Amino acid sequence: MSTPRRRRVTAQDVADLAGVSRNAVSRAFNGGYRLRSSTVDRIMEAADQLGWRPNTAARAIKGSPAHTIGFILRREPDLLGADPFFPLFLAGLERVLSEQAYALTIRFVSDETEEELCYRDWRAERSVDAFIVADLRDADPRFALLDELGASAIVIGDPPPGVEIPAVFHDSDDSIRHALDGWIARGHIRIGHVMGDPALEHARRRRDIWAGVLERHGLRSDLLAVGGFTESGAEDATREILAVDEPPTAVFYANDVMAAAGMRTIAEAGLRVGEQVAVFGFDGIPLAPYLSPPLATIACDYVELGEIAGRMLLAGLEAETVGPVRRTLPARFVQRASYGIGPQR
């Protein structure tokens, strides 16, 4: 008010002066998520210089109004019943959130339209301070949406290049490579993969690691079938790769639930699991050691994943300047009888 101006200063003026987008200004005042701290500093300086402070942002910056974290899940119930990720992740996440008196609100949606609406509604109502983004998909529209909404979030998974949202995930690449290399060292040359839902980023990544190891050893990666992370999908996929001319002597399943169904299908085909067809899965479900034979697996600690996601999210909301952070947790190969000792056929 002391400096006479032609018109009211807007966020666009701040953006122009700082050399950033209008969205970046909004985000800088909304916790600084997905901005380098130097960028946030530059925006704050520009805003100071122009004497600008947005009302809603000022409200959000001091003590989040909702004290609630939103988790929108697009998953069918039959993918929830045996999947250890969801309940364990939730338990770890919620433990951390509740220590800081944050509530967790969950919504299940059935399609992309409903999903987008929910993000928009919660953001418009300011009913959540930040989002948990899991089950990353191909060309995932949620990154652009979060950007448009200027919303804080944490990604559970490895976001594509250019996405500047903090993320945490299990780095299982080396464990999978180690398990596959071990099979090849034992003499397996026909190694199959039963893949998860190809729309999901982690399903594609596990397939790519498998194909990469085989190619590195000069082996063909033709024994691939999609199981979609479900039991019935795994049965069909297993029958499919067992029926080819040179069938596999070893199969890597993209999750333990499919491995359990696959082991049964292999046995029903008259083959001994762990002897004629070696198997390992992924997740480390509590029942893995009790399957017959006990299931070798790439084990992930989903409670820890939830705890770390919660801590990263709250740190981002409480600090005003947090740059994009990537954090990985190690996955662990657990060798059990299903892994076998080498091709016995």
Residues that bind a copy of itself (CB under 8 A): 68, 75, 77-78, 80-84, 86-88, 90-92, 94-95, 98, 103-109, 127, 231, 257, 260-261, 263-264, 267, 285-287, 289-292, 294, 302-303
Cα(259)–Cα(76) distance, integer angstroms = 20
Beta-carbon contacts of 184 under 8 Å, excluding residues fewer than 6 positions away, are 191, 213, 217, 219
Runs of H (alpha helix) within 68-162: 85-99, 112-124, 142-149
Cα gap 146→23, rounded to integer Å? 10
Pick between residue 70 and residue 159 the one whose CB is nearest to a copy of itself: 70
Q: Indicate the residue among 92 and 166 with the shorter CB distance to a copy of itself.
A: 92
* Cα–Cα distance measured from residue 301 to residue 170, given in angstroms and rounded to the nearest whole number: 8
Least Å from the CB of residue 266 to a copy of itself = 11
Contact 167, 158 (CB under 8 A): yes
Closest approach of a copy of itself to the CB of residue 182, in Å? 24
Q: Are 25 and 73 in contact (CB under 8 A)?
A: no
Helices (H), 150-230: 173-185, 201-216
Comparison of 271 and 303: residue with beta carbon closer to a copy of itself:
303
> Which residue's CB is nearer to a copy of itself, number 75 or number 186?
75
Tokens of residue 196, six digits: 């998860």
Closer residue to a copy of itself, CB minimum distance, 49 or 110: 110
Identity of the residue, 141 or 286, whose beta carbon is nearer to a copy of itself in the bound complex: 286
Q: What is the DSSP string of 318-338?
A: HSS-----EEEEE-EEE--GG
The β-bridge relationship of strands 278-283 and 296-299 is parallel
**Closest to a copy of itself by CB, 107 or 186:** 107
DSSP string for residues in 241-286: HHTSSS--SEEEESSHHHHHHHHHHHHHTT--BTTTBEEEEEE--T
